Structure 1
């Protein structure tokens, strides 16, 4: 019996250190490279406070994920938790659809950031051409197939973190030398009014985009040694490490450049490095930033194409999407469908709008996660493992709703449209199932 279970299970390769590295790499990714300037346009010199609020909200939901990951150390993540709590298949379909939409809009966001860094360093290329070339390259890599490994993830994480450490180091030296920007240390004013909590929370609603990723740790729970203990620890440690780095980068960035300069920049962290240390080779930091954005965008593309493929294979979408390429064995049809939608979003939306929509979608899913934990805690008896009091998911649910409320109206509209399409998908699926039954 043991042999059967072992052969049917995934190999447990993640210890706590490698799982923390996986989590930190997933969280840091490209979010901070993309949105720090736009957050400065909302909360001024209090960018660090927006990141602190976003981290606090993320930490509450992370605690809920930690308990759920301890209770159900299975791959599947949010869809698994929601199905366990609500026991309704249609809601799991909607959750899968929202996950797909989150990946799609995030891809568009990252393409804007990629174009911003590249055109700042090499302005001869128009932004629209960079976006098209990026998506063409990502589609080709996705089509050819990509074999991920723990060692590759460690390399990617090291490179991405090195860019943020460069920002921290050169900015700290700049500030310690007494050259901090006067505009940065002044109290920020917008339209004659001092910025307050509203601006900080508006910035936090956008900053939440940079914290997306900690929830992915539960998706590899079946590959973790002693998951009941290591999954909760890894979630909390990863979020803490990423949060400290973000707050340091955000605070130092506003000491080097004014919030207005950060907001107007297409490559905010590159401009921070070059202002703080003009002799630093810009090509090095540009390469790091481009790689961070490219790597995260590719992972989003792969995830989105596999989500469509999986939903089709499970009968939730037409079977046409589940066709694999004859030689590459990749879901090429999903790639063909995703590509024009992502390009349209990237060329028609601003970075701030797209990042805000991504954060709104993920916050909506986190609401379902916290609600699921409340239902599970009430229904099922408490057992050993990582547990939090019921007040934690309740506070997490409330804080998620608050940040959604502070997102832009345009982000609300697009997120609502995607959600509406998800419900329409469920109705069409149910109608097809009834038709087949008769």
Structure 2
């Protein structure tokens, strides 16, 4: 193929990748194994959604933003996510290809927009993994303290917080999950299934133990920070809902994806939203919201405050299991996004190499594990959570816009699942996500803009020149190891 001129390269940045060409790259002997059932996929979604949102973020948001109106913040975020989930479900069933919103943007809006959303997803997943690992560390530290084992502050806190130097437990759990993912997605899904069942059981136990201790006086004032606080809280607790995005990253490894993916995406969101509403209502009813400030383990803390110390310890065990499942799914999703972007030539070829035995992208999995472990060991939780949310909201906007565009430009494409009331539902998602982005702190906006600017520099210096969008490749060649095509 002759080298392209700069003008041709510039024009190609707005070129979309046909769905048929995207699908070609999912077959061949170098493809990922299709091993996940509808039940396993749904539990992957619940495993990613239910965890840090309940066991970690609730305390911070209640104390600093929403107060007892935390439940309203979760309802707002859940409603916005429902709009986004319907758009994701349409794309996932139509284009069951690894990459999630990145792939959907490539199919509907063009390469440069795909790169922007892919770069955004790298930020979203990386800092999500770090935040979840910090939460896991908080619960593990609390559990060990209850057993009489006190870990030294320099080894459990980030620099500058309570004499911290490095968050060592956060590093260790990321490395354990990284090793599990290298062994294979089926093995990871089995572990996830077990710990999700434990996690849901613990949540139901918390509701049972705490319900009789609700004191309505703790719900007054209901909105101590006003609607501004509630909406800012909604923007931050959006962090809790990114799991169904992770479900879509498993598209190439799912049996019967046209039917399974919509079930996994929508089903996991519905179950998780119900649990979030129940837990936040009870949590703020048993302990004054102001007491949750500076605690990374609010559910266990709340049970301890009402004198159920054994329940506190049990919740900590369940939370540790549950948060581990979140790590499994998020680390999995991050590696598949890198994998898809590398296959399209936008990232170096090393990221699409598969292990000859386990058939997993081992090198990129190790890279993600190391980078996220560093983030988790050095950054405070709240800064991480805010960065995650702006990335998630931006991804939802792109996917919803893609549904509208593709309905107009490719109306005849087969759509096994159709988002209802297009363009109204995607438009509602775009407007509401934009509003929540506006409610995030200004410093978060600045960090996000800097991240996107770095991404665009990388795109124009490297990715634009290595793009494979115009390569005449077959499905087998799409999956060939670097150097073999």
Give me the TM-score of the superposition, normalised by structure 1: 0.84
Name the SS for the 1:280 alignment partner. Answer: helix
Name the SS for the 1:304 alignment partner. Answer: helix
Counterpart position of 1:148: 185
Unaligned runs of 5+ in 2: 1-25, 157-166, 468-485
311-320 vs 39-48, greater mean Cα deviation: 311-320
Deviation at 1:326, TM superposition (A): 9.6
Counterpart position of 2:379: 349
Residues 206 and 352 in structure 1, CA contact (< 8 A), matched pair in contact too: no
Deviations 1:204-240 (A, max 9, x none): 0011111111123333445556544443344323211
127-136 vs 238-247, greater mean Cα deviation: 127-136
Name the SS for the 1:266 alignment partner. Answer: coil
Q: How does 1:22-171 map to 2 (within 5 A)?
A: 22-41=44-63, 42-86=65-109, 88-123=110-145, 124-126=150-152, 128-130=154-156, 131-139=167-175, 142-143=178-179, 145-149=182-186, 150-171=189-210
386-395 vs 317-326, greater mean Cα deviation: 317-326
229-238 vs 269-278, greater mean Cα deviation: 229-238
Counterpart position of 1:185: 219
Q: CA RMSD in A?
A: 3.2
Deviation at 1:334, TM superposition (A): 4.6
Deviations 1:76-129 (A, max 9, x none): 42122111112x333323322222221211122123212322333445214552
Residues 171 and 252 in structure 1, CA contact (< 8 A), matched pair in contact too: yes
Deviation at 1:35, TM superposition (A): 0.3
Counterpart position of 1:296: 326
Deviation at 1:361, TM superposition (A): 0.5
Q: 1:104 to 1:229 in 2, by over 3 A?
A: closer
Name the SS for the 1:158 alignment partner. Answer: helix
Deviation at 1:343, TM superposition (A): 4.7
Q: 1:407 to 1:146 in 2, by over 3 A?
A: farther
- 1:376 lines up with 2:406 in the alignment: yes
Deviation at 1:420, TM superposition (A): 1.8
Question: 2 CA distance for matches of 1:399 and 1:358?
Answer: 17
Name the SS for the 1:264 alignment partner. Answer: coil
Counterpart position of 2:284: 254
Deviation at 1:272, TM superposition (A): 1.7
Question: 2 CA distance for matches of 1:322 and 1:234?
Answer: 26
Deviation at 1:305, TM superposition (A): 4.7
Deviation at 1:286, TM superposition (A): 1.6
- 1:386 lines up with 2:423 in the alignment: no
Q: 1:333 to 1:50 in 2, by over 3 A?
A: same
Residues 87 and 426 in structure 2, CA contact (< 8 A), matched pair in contact too: yes
Q: 1:63 to 1:298 in 2, by over 3 A?
A: closer
Unaligned runs of 5+ in 1: none
Residues 143 and 328 in structure 1, CA contact (< 8 A), matched pair in contact too: no
Residues 143 and 330 in structure 1, CA contact (< 8 A), matched pair in contact too: no
Question: 1 CA distance for matches of 2:232 and 2:171?
Answer: 30
246-255 vs 104-113, greater mean Cα deviation: 104-113
Q: How does 1:250-329 map to 2 (within 5 A)?
A: 250-276=280-306, 278-305=308-335, 307-308=337-338, 311-312=341-342, 314-319=344-349
Question: 2 CA distance for matches of 1:20 and 1:62?
Answer: 13
Counterpart position of 1:423: 456
Q: 1:427 to 1:214 in 2, by over 3 A?
A: same
Question: 2 CA distance for matches of 1:352 and 1:281?
Answer: 27
Residues 47 and 322 in structure 2, CA contact (< 8 A), matched pair in contact too: no
Q: 1:304 to 1:128 in 2, by over 3 A?
A: farther
Question: 2 CA distance for matches of 1:213 and 1:11?
Answer: 20
Higher helix share: 1
Name the SS for the 1:315 alignment partner. Answer: coil
Question: 2 CA distance for matches of 1:128 and 1:246?
Answer: 33
Q: 1:107 to 1:398 in 2, by over 3 A?
A: same
Counting matched residue pairs gives 419
2:434 to 397, 401, 407: 401
- 1:363 lines up with 2:385 in the alignment: no
365-374 vs 125-134, greater mean Cα deviation: 125-134
Deviation at 1:351, TM superposition (A): 1.4
Q: 1:18 to 1:303 in 2, by over 3 A?
A: closer
Name the SS for the 2:310 alignment partner. Answer: coil
